[in-house]
Amino acid sequence: MKMTLAILLGFLATVAWAQDWGWAGKDSNGFVTVNPSRVVGSVLTSGSSTVYPIAQMLVDQFRAEGFAGQLAIDNIGTGAGLKRFATGEVDFANASRPIVPAERKAAESRGKVLEFKLALDAIVLLVSSQNTWVKDLDDEAVQAAFAEAEKWSDINPSWPAEKIRRYIPETSHGTFDFFQEHFWDDKGVMLKSAPDVQRFQDFNRLTSAVQGDKYGIGFVGYAYYKDGDARAVKFNGMLADRNTVESRTYGLSRYLYTYVNARTLTAKAQSAAYLGFVLNNVSKVAARVGYFPLPAAELAAQKKLLAESVAGKF
């Protein structure tokens, strides 16, 4: 009886293991492939509003291709998402900036944190289409426009002697963090304490507010700019486009990320399935949403990292 029970338990364990990883395969490069219809369990993800359009489309596609489990995604900003990630409330934290040391330390209380790049983005400087005077801003002019100047004429005497009204993301957004660090490095005039500032959780509302204010200025991720009517301003002589962003010559280009605990990928097979599906489809989705795909070599490096993280599981 003991032998029979041991055999039975071993059989059940084998079946459970096969079911968990039965969705998995490998392509000719050894990268993970995924059959969503064979994935079971739940996946929880939250974080960046900038990454959200990509993530939501991937979630919808994962479901459409057969995943029937729970797949939740919350659009709450990079900082808030990383806080949930650190406490284990979610499997993935999407981010529009790199994780900072304090956030990594908090999250690594649960194990090693892995960083996966998903796509390239650019922060776009926006003014209303009614604004006919601002064409190009350098670093000093951006600092003045978003924090230091009271009127447009303070930046350039030929510009209107009208108050500048500033429209920026809430401080919980990685876009806010990236912008502030790029121009102020947490020193001098702080972006969040500038006068005549309105902060937005919703980037679409921010873009609409800029468009509706002749004397306003704001900044958002590239995809939100493409969906709105506000006008992009050159930064140091360049507009954001595929060539300037992929070459990183546009000064406000950046990576978009997702973070996951290494233990999660091996303990929750469905999380590895979801990430594999994301990496295999993110380039097409990023282009459809309005972002920029990773260069082929960089995407291959992300797929390799996943393959190494789940090596031996299937």
The pLDDT tens digits of the residues spanning 244-281 come to 999 999 999 999 999 999 999 999 999 999 999 999 99
Lowest-confidence range among 34-38, 186-190, 274-278, 309-313? 186-190
Q: How does residue 6 score in pLDDT terms, banded at 50, 70 and 90?
A: very low
Question: What count of residues does the chain have?
Answer: 314
Average pLDDT in the chain:
92
pTM of the model: 0.87
Task: Please tell me whether residue 247 adopts helix, strand or coil conformation.
Answer: coil
Superfamily name with CATH number, domain 122-253: Periplasmic binding protein-like II (3.40.190.10)
Q: Which residues contact 290 (CB under 8 A, 6 or more apart)?
A: 53, 222, 223, 226, 227
CATH 3.40.190.10 domain extents, the chain = 20-120+254-309, 122-253
The pLDDT tens digits of the residues spanning 42-61 come to 999 999 999 999 999 999 99
Q: How does residue 17 score in pLDDT terms, banded at 50, 70 and 90?
A: very low
The pairing of beta strand 24-26 with beta strand 32-34: antiparallel
The pLDDT tens digits of the residues spanning 115-171 come to 999 999 999 999 999 999 999 999 999 999 999 999 999 999 999 999 999 999 999
Burial of 296 from C-beta contacts in 10 A (0-12 / 13-18 / 19+): exposed
Q: Please tell me what DSSP assigns to residue 128.
A: -
CATH 3.30.70.20 fits 20-120+254-309, yes or no: no
